[in-house]
Structure 1
Amino acid sequence: MLHRWLRGKNRNTPDKSEQTPLRVLHVGKYYPPYRGGMESFLADLIEQQRAGGIDARTVVHGDPLPDDPEWLIRVPVQVTLVFAPIALGFPFALWKAIQRFKPDVLHLHMPNNAAFWPLIIPSARRIPWVVHWHSDVLVSEWDTVLKACYQLYKPFETKLLQHSEAILATSPPYMAASAPLQRWLYKTVAIPLGLKPLDTETLQQAEEEDVSEWGDAQLRILSVGRLTYYKGFDTLISAVAGFAEVQLLIAGEGEQRKELEALIERERSHHGCARVKLLGQVSEARKYALFNSCDIFALASRERTEAFGLVLIEAMQHGKPCIASDLDGSGMSWVVGQSGAGQCYAPDQVQAWKEAIRQALNTKAQLALRGQVALRAADAQFTIAQCEARIREIYQSCSSRAAMPGTEQLSTQQLLVAVLYDIRDVDRLAQWRPALPGQQLVCVDATGDPDAASMLQQASIASLALHHLGWEDTLAVLQRLVSEQAYTGLALMPAHRILEQAGAEEDRRPGWWQRMLAGLGVQYHHLGRDTWVLRGAALTDWTLAAHGAFGARVWSIKK
């Protein structure tokens, strides 16, 4: 790992954290009482942040409610297109919030088309961005409308990730499998989601709720979520069909209700029984009562739209074991595996889920013990307090106002950056250590040769692959590395010149137009040809600069 989460700023930034609280403005999609995993998490996170001394506020879609606090700004939606709410007043509301609140960090929750507005708001672009990557936008190959819309959405998504200081993925498997994140892994960190403790007042209300829908079932299975295709409720319905001693309750509402009702009738006629009830939308107290009274919780989602499965944590908080889909790239199996809360089964494989139900029936006496394991794991690994603490560290590393830990100087060395265009120059790079003591080397691999990475690794040379990052992002990584390690000098040069030119000043006098650009605060270099040496104030200015690139031609512009 070539860097950690530090913004490219002078490491001697004064600590103001004790003078004023850190100000964070969240840009979300919706906020409770709107139901959804992203929305519940956002509410819990803001509550925890405000309790911990962070001045957290949010701008979201929706009609303002009479009891909304002053830190919650809802912007009315005029129309919804392909699941995307369109609020014409959102950019003005966001601009106004930034002007009044003057946040230190913008926390953008994705997927969310409203999170793109900071790209065109100058005051927003001057604030560090933390992007919370809750889920990819997954496009079915048969959904031509959504595919076309995503082609319009994707360039903005890319620009958003490019401009961000840090990206938060919800689990290591999702981070590894997300195609949009692969280019930005150098600034992505996995922070599992968490929930606040169960509300004691709601627990008391839950005791009065009627849960007679379970009937006389020996095994009570609960599933919760919007009735939509990716949730896999059809798999669960087919799996319980034929088990007279099993009752499945599904809490939630959605566009697939009629299809699921028809499936229940077909399974009843085919197998003789299918004890399934669709409960529709339920209150929080009733949901608590259903969790408390079930034997096991099931989540059979079939697509990575189910990025984490926050509802699994809810079940674990109630001391319930879980069965979930073993879906590549989703956090579901990771959550269950990390916690030891249950077992995972192949999505859409009805026979596998039937076997899971059969095993649960045969080991009914052990379910309560597994539930206790799940409860302990929820308290130890998936609390909102733990999640908030890790996010706070990210804020502190990227906010210009936050305290920077470890402000002592970490290095007095010069950093050498060798641009490798010819794989034959790896042997020359391997000679740098004995020839240039007291300096550190990073190689930018511009060869595109698949063997280059392994050759550089064998030579113990840290490297960045240009074909993955591009020059703008490569320079952003180097900015962070220089800032974190407090290097006193930086030399960028072609790899074949590493032994002759390292540690020397530039041997090519800048042209008149380069000197003119320098007077305007713009530095231009051709990184495949020039040696570029930066020391002292010039290096400090460079760590604060923005970069533009056209091939190996790079412009560094003072912000």
Structure 2
Amino acid sequence: MKIAHVTAFAPYGGADIQCEMLATCLHRQGVAQRVMAGGNPERSQRLRQAGLDVVDLELPGRLAFLARKRLDGELKRFTPDLVLSWRPEVSVLVERGGYKHIGRLPATFNSKAYMTCDALLAPSKQRADAAVAAGWSMDKIHTVPDLPSIALARPNPVEIERRTLFTPATARIVFSAGRLEKSKSFDTLIDAVARLSSVYLWIAGDGPDRAFFEAHAYAKGMKPRVRFLGWVDDLQPYFRASDLFVYPAKQEDLSDIVVEAWSAGAPVIAADSLGPGLLIRHQENGVLVPVGDPVAMSDAIAWLLADQNAAERIGAAGKKSFDEEYEPSRLIDRYLKIFSGLGRTDDESVAAAGGT
């Protein structure tokens, strides 16, 4: 099987990380692939260093018809069995050809972007449901959770030195991560930590509202105890260096970041928004607090910082949930099964199903 990954790498974004991880993992499985993308030379270079074939292709480009022509030429040269498009603005450029086209669904569904898709890839049930509501048949939608970052199994893990982040050796640390936009409610988390003396807050991520959150930290007198880390691809060292993980988002259909924290055995506190609320069993493998409630969030943080046994129990239960449902090899097997099925001809699919 030959797979072409088609995307437009942004400076930061979950879809880009997923593209890099899936392509790298499939390469380790011996799957022939080519990544057609531009926009982030560092990510492209990492893919090349991992052994991937990468074609620098600026998509979607200023002129759609020229971008579509360039992409079509690259696909004809590679002759893939399957094209996986990672962003809607790129999915719309993929023309029909001698391959199956599967598009990954973003948070907001736009049916026009997927008109040439044979199937859709949904990282959550909520995104699959949005496509069904728009008229797609459920049997054309494949739901697989996103890969956790440990799927890349970095050979030389980095350890975080607190002094590099101007954090005292004796301080308790709350860690959080995500795209810095108002829907993620990092202001609520800043307010929660402000109620706890001597607790430091590390926030990994970037986005359009970073300045808003930085200004909020300053206004709350929290600037000395908040560290904005910028976009971080590998969160594992920060989970290890902190005491617990808190995710305050008021709007979130995915639970990727909770799964990431579970993979590290970190105790998790999350606002009871859609994604985390469906995933976490309260006070078993995590703690849920009301959306937008800094007092409840602060109380939950104080509890887990004070009760080491509870923190360890919740962290261990989260790790167990991860091992049972989200271990990378399990997810890769699911991807391979989906891609193999899509790559078959109609006659082969009938035979595999036991037909005649």
TM-score grouping bracket, smaller chain normalisation:
0.7 to 0.9
- Hey, what's the Cα distance between the residues in 1 that align with 2:308 and 2:35? 45
The reply to whether residue 28 of structure 1 matches residue 7 of structure 2 is: yes
The aligned runs of 1:473-492 (5 Å cut-off) are none
The aligned runs of 1:149-168 (5 Å cut-off) are 154=110, 156-157=112-113, 160=114, 163-168=116-121
Cα-to-partner distance string for 1:20-78 (whole Å, 9 max, x where unaligned): xx0111222317xx43211111111111112212212222232667946362123236x
Structure 2, unpaired ranges of 5+: none
- Hey, what's the Cα distance between the residues in 2 that align with 1:256 and 1:280? 14
2:187 is paired with a residue whose SS is: helix
Give the residue type in structure 1 aligned to 2:107: S
- Larger-Rg structure: 1
Partner of 1:104: 81
Aligned match for 1:39, one of 3, 11, 16? 16
Deviation at 1:381, TM superposition (A): 2.0
The reply to whether residue 326 of structure 1 matches residue 326 of structure 2 is: no
Give the residue type in structure 2 aligned to 1:114: V
Partner of 1:76: 58
Cα-to-partner distance string for 1:59-103 (whole Å, 9 max, x where unaligned): 2232667946362123236xxxxxx87476532332122111111
Work out whether residues 243 and 274 of structure 1, in 8 Å CA contact, stay in contact via their aligned partners in 2.
no
- Hey, what's the Cα distance between the residues in 2 that align with 1:281 and 1:390? 32
The reply to whether residue 61 of structure 1 matches residue 38 of structure 2 is: yes
Deviation at 1:404, TM superposition (A): 4.1
The reply to whether residue 190 of structure 1 matches residue 143 of structure 2 is: yes
- Hey, what's the Cα distance between the residues in 1 that align with 2:323 and 2:282? 13
The reply to whether residue 388 of structure 1 matches residue 344 of structure 2 is: no
Aligned match for 2:244, one of 283, 286, 296? 296
Cα-to-partner distance string for 1:244-268 (whole Å, 9 max, x where unaligned): 1422111233332332232223323
Partner of 1:114: 90
Work out whether residues 243 and 305 of structure 2, in 8 Å CA contact, stay in contact via their aligned partners in 1.
no
- Hey, what's the Cα distance between the residues in 2 that align with 1:345 and 1:73? 45
Aligned match for 1:278, one of 227, 231, 242? 227
Work out whether residues 299 and 325 of structure 1, in 8 Å CA contact, stay in contact via their aligned partners in 2.
yes
1:117 is paired with a residue whose SS is: coil
The aligned runs of 1:339-350 (5 Å cut-off) are 341-350=285-294
Q: 1:276 to 1:231 in 2, by over 3 A?
A: farther
Deviation at 1:212, TM superposition (A): 5.6
The aligned runs of 1:130-529 (5 Å cut-off) are 130-136=102-108, 154=110, 156-157=112-113, 160=114, 163-176=116-129, 183-195=136-148, 196-197=150-151, 199-203=153-157, 205-206=158-159, 210=163, 213-215=166-168, 219-268=172-221, 276-281=225-230, 287-304=235-252, 307-328=253-274, 331-337=275-281, 341-400=285-344, 404=348, 407=351, 410=354
Work out whether residues 235 and 300 of structure 1, in 8 Å CA contact, stay in contact via their aligned partners in 2.
yes
Deviation at 1:303, TM superposition (A): 2.2
Cα-to-partner distance string for 1:394-419 (whole Å, 9 max, x where unaligned): 22222235994772785xxxxxxxxx
Give the residue type in structure 2 aligned to 1:262: A
Structure 1, unpaired ranges of 5+: 1-21, 78-83, 138-153, 411-484, 487-559
Work out whether residues 160 and 238 of structure 2, in 8 Å CA contact, stay in contact via their aligned partners in 1.
no
Q: 1:289 to 1:53 in 2, by over 3 A?
A: closer
Give the residue type in structure 2 aligned to 1:396: S
Work out whether residues 230 and 302 of structure 1, in 8 Å CA contact, stay in contact via their aligned partners in 2.
yes
Q: 1:403 to 1:315 in 2, by over 3 A?
A: farther
- Hey, what's the Cα distance between the residues in 1 that align with 2:189 and 2:14? 21
Q: 1:214 to 1:178 in 2, by over 3 A?
A: farther
CA RMSD in angstroms comes to: 3.4
Q: 1:135 to 1:180 in 2, by over 3 A?
A: farther
- Hey, what's the Cα distance between the residues in 2 that align with 1:64 and 1:105? 24
- Hey, what's the Cα distance between the residues in 2 that align with 1:209 and 1:97? 47
Q: 1:177 to 1:155 in 2, by over 3 A?
A: closer
- Hey, what's the Cα distance between the residues in 1 that align with 2:194 and 2:138? 44
Q: Which moved more, 1:349-358 or 1:396-405?
A: 396-405
Cα-to-partner distance string for 1:146-204 (whole Å, 9 max, x where unaligned): xxxxxxxx4523xx2x543322221234433667556433422321122244645442x
- Hey, what's the Cα distance between the residues in 2 that align with 1:323 and 1:381? 19
- Hey, what's the Cα distance between the residues in 1 that align with 2:327 and 2:307? 29
Q: 1:376 to 1:232 in 2, by over 3 A?
A: same
Give the residue type in structure 1 aligned to 2:75: I
Q: 1:343 to 1:258 in 2, by over 3 A?
A: same
Work out whether residues 198 and 317 of structure 1, in 8 Å CA contact, stay in contact via their aligned partners in 2.
no
